[in-house]
Amino acid sequence: MNDEKRLHMPLGEAIFSQRSIRKFKPDPIPVEDIHTIVEAGVRAPNGGNRQVGRFLVLTDRKKIHDEFGPLYYEAWWAKRRDEGHTWTSLEQIPAEDKSHRAAAQLASEMKDAPAVVFALAMNNGPANSVIPACQNLMLAARALGIGSLPTTLHPSVMERFRAMFKIPADVAFHFCIPLGYPRGSFGPNVRKPTSETTFLNAWGAAVPWK
């Protein structure tokens, strides 16, 4: 079956039930699903159709577990230090700070993700050369029942990250997107009402809905 036909979940269902999935079952992702996911990614709009975006797909479980997982953990905690937090373990993050706790949990569990996609750009292309592709990719994953989320790394690990995957110096790293079947459920996600975030014809002018 071609990739288009494999994505039969209604677009509305995929978009409205999409949320960041950070807890993954250990089950591997079939290669045909990975193929469909990246095919959906490359269909996205990109500047001048120059197609500088590149995906590096990591499915080597030993490499994820022993090399990338620990690097991601280190990067996540380095970002917290940059933010001025003094926590050094998940247990120290206040219970009410659910988003940091969830992200810290992912930092600990990244090593067990069945697959990770790195979104890169040739000629040191900017993030906007891969962002639409990443969103397409994550929606396609959603349609296949596969959870994902965009995450980043930290300057302190970049040299080792590049060496780990032999990424050339003129290839920019933008996002790392773990993929896996969720432990738990998809959506709904929580967003501000569009009546608050959208204006009609002029800044501040109300839209005709609540």
Ligand X SMILES: Cc1cc2nc3c(=O)[nH]c(=O)nc-3n(C[C@H](O)[C@H](O)[C@H](O)COP(=O)(O)O)c2cc1C
Q: Which is nearer to ligand X, 16 or 199 (CB)?
A: 16
Q: Is 88 in the site for ligand X (CB under 6 A)?
A: no
Residue pair 146/24 in contact (Cβ under 8 Å)? The answer is no
Smallest separation, CB 101 to ligand X (Å): 10
Query: Under the criterion CB under 6 A, does residue 20 sit at the interface with ligand X?
Result: yes
**Contacts with ligand X in 122-161 (CB under 6 A)?**
149-152
Which range of residues in 18-26, 33-41, 135-143, 197-205 is near ligand X by CB under 6 A? Answer: 18-26
Q: Is 195 in the site for ligand X (CB under 6 A)?
A: no
Q: Between 19 and 43, name the residue whose CB sits nearer to ligand X.
A: 19
Of 49 and 99, which CB lies nearer to ligand X in the complex structure?
99
Contact positions toward ligand X, by CB under 6 A?
Answer: 19-20, 22, 99, 103, 106, 149-152, 189
